[in-house]
Amino acid sequence: MNVIIEKRFIRKFRKINKEWRSRILEVLRRLEDGDIARLDIKKLKGYENIYRIRIGDFRIKFKKEENIIKVFDIERREKAYR
In the chain, domain spans: 2-80
Q: Check whether 82 has a pLDDT greater than 70.
A: no
* H or E element at residue 55: strand 50-55
Query: If DSSP codes are grouped into helix, strand and coil, which group holds residue 12?
Result: helix
What is the rounded distance in angstroms from the CA atom of residue 64 to the CA atom of residue 51? 8
Fold of 2-80: YaeB-like fold (3.30.2310)
Query: Under a CB-based contact definition with an 8 Å cutoff, are residues 6 and 71 in contact?
Result: yes
Query: Under a CB-based contact definition with an 8 Å cutoff, are residues 74 and 7 in contact?
Result: no
Q: What single-letter DSSP state applies at residue 44?
A: P
Statement: the pTM of the whole predicted model exceeds 0.75: yes
- β-pair partners for 62: 51, 71
pLDDT in tens, 18-55: 999 999 999 999 999 988 888 999 999 999 999 999 99
